[in-house]
Structure 1
Amino acid sequence: MRKKPIERHQTLREKILETIRESILKGNLKPGEKVAEPELAERFGISRTPIREAFRQLESEGYLTVIPRKGAVVTELSERDVSEFYAIKSILEGYAARLAARNLSPRDIDKLEQINKRLEQLAEEGDVKNFYRIHNEFHDLFIKASGNEKLAELIEQVGMKFNRLRMASLSLPGRMEISVAEHRKIIAAFRDKDGESADNLVSRTAALGGKVLIQSMGGSHSHKDAINLLDEAVDI
């Protein structure tokens, strides 16, 4: 009897999170715009407490900034934010891949291939939300295999703060397909136990994510430049 309210509460919370995330990613909620608690409370038929809990979660992911006595507003992101995050991501995950290359078992590598096949299906379906979730599983597997717990914790902490950037990058046309293609090369490097190549490939993929996102931030013309950059990446 006690489980039902908990399950319902979690479901509502996830709906609130998804609604706000998608509104921000699609541009319906603009940077600096306030996210109204009363409207969400009325829409979902709930009190403001679970909404505030969702706001705190979205703040930790980089979507919102909660300002005392003002409420939650959409976080404004600069090109510098993007550039700095992807520089860090490139270095940390590249190093994790280098370490993982000597630790991954044949079974681990087979699992990476299975995950990437699933990602290929999701890319064909245009399912960004589930692609993002499974994409994390791919990276989590080799990061864990690095054997460096502090490195894995650091990557998780940095990644959580910039979930919004990662989702936005994967949402760009053609970005998911590029990710799948890059993963194939990374898997091949893992099979060869080639840590240097794995490091370079993972670093390059992260750097590409940052470049295309920066290109897309300047309007329709820049968005086209981002797509052109992705097209060029296929031939790298």
Structure 2
Amino acid sequence: MKNKSIERHQTLREKILESIRDAILRGSLRAGERVSEPELAERYGISRTPIREAFRQLESEGYLTVVPRKGAVVTALSERDVEEFYSIKSILEGYAANLAAQRLSDKDIEKLEAINNRLAKLASAGDVKTFFRVHNEFHEHFIRASGNSRLLELIQQLLKKFDRLRIASLSLPGRMEISVQEHRKIIDAFRQRDSETADLLVRKNAAYGGQVLIQSMNND
């Protein structure tokens, strides 16, 4: 009985997380708008504990800001946030690609190709959520191959905090298809054991993600 109660608690928390993330990404919850704890508790017929847990996670992912005595509000994104995140991401991931180019086995490269082929299908289907998850697998695979565990840890911490920016960028028209094309070039560089080109391509990939997001923010 206890396990069922824990499972229900976790399922509800996931539902709330998904619902708020989607509303923010769709734009039905806008920057600065309050997300009501009592309203969610009433809608789902639950206590506020799983809601507060969901809010804490969404705050760590950059979706919400929890203000004492005011509650949770949707975090505003600035151009500076985007520029700073993508410039750091490009340096760290570029360095990881540089190291990985000399360490990836033929089997690793085959795995990267298989992941990218899956991404191509997901892009055609317009499945951003699954694309985002599989896209993370692609990058994590070569970052792990760099052999630098501290670097992997730093990148993972950074990415978790800026999931919202990355999903927003991948959601833009044509962005998923371009990402698949960029990955093909990166795989070619890995196949040739060309550290310099792999580094440059991964940096360009990250920089482009930031540029298109800033462009879309300016067009809103």
TM above 0.5, yes or no, is yes
Runs (5+) with no aligned partner, structure 1: 221-236
Q: What corresponds to 1:44 in structure 2?
A: 44
Distance in structure 2 (CA, Å) of the matches to 1:124 and 1:15: 26
Q: What corresponds to 1:215 in structure 2?
A: 215
* Counterpart AA for 2:17: L
1:25-36 matches, within 5 Å, as 25-36=25-36
Distance in structure 2 (CA, Å) of the matches to 1:4 and 1:189: 49
Distance in structure 1 (CA, Å) of the matches to 2:20 and 2:108: 35
Give the drift of 1:3: 3.0
Q: Does 1:110 align with 2:110?
A: yes
SS of the residue corresponding to residue 46 of structure 1 reads coil
- CA deviations on 1:47-89 (whole Å, 9 max, x unpaired) are 1100000000000000000111111100011101101110001
Give the drift of 1:123: 0.5
Q: What corresponds to 2:171 in structure 1?
A: 171
1:1-236 matches, within 5 Å, as 1-220=1-220
TM-score, normalised via structure 1 length? 0.91
SS of the residue corresponding to residue 17 of structure 1 reads helix
Q: What corresponds to 1:225 in structure 2?
A: none
Give the drift of 1:2: 3.8
Runs (5+) with no aligned partner, structure 2: none
Pairwise CA RMSD: 1.0
Give the drift of 1:7: 2.4
Give the drift of 1:4: 2.3
* Counterpart AA for 1:42: E
Distance in structure 2 (CA, Å) of the matches to 1:99 and 1:144: 10
Distance in structure 2 (CA, Å) of the matches to 1:4 and 1:110: 41
* Counterpart AA for 1:169: S
Give the drift of 1:45: 1.6
SS of the residue corresponding to residue 218 of structure 2 reads coil
Distance in structure 2 (CA, Å) of the matches to 1:142 and 1:71: 40
Contact 2:94/2:202, CA 8 A, preserved across alignment: yes
Distance in structure 2 (CA, Å) of the matches to 1:108 and 1:47: 46
Give the drift of 1:10: 1.9
* Counterpart AA for 1:78: S
Give the drift of 1:114: 0.8
- CA deviations on 1:4-39 (whole Å, 9 max, x unpaired) are 222222221111111101100111111011100111
SS of the residue corresponding to residue 176 of structure 1 reads helix
Contact 2:61/2:161, CA 8 A, preserved across alignment: yes
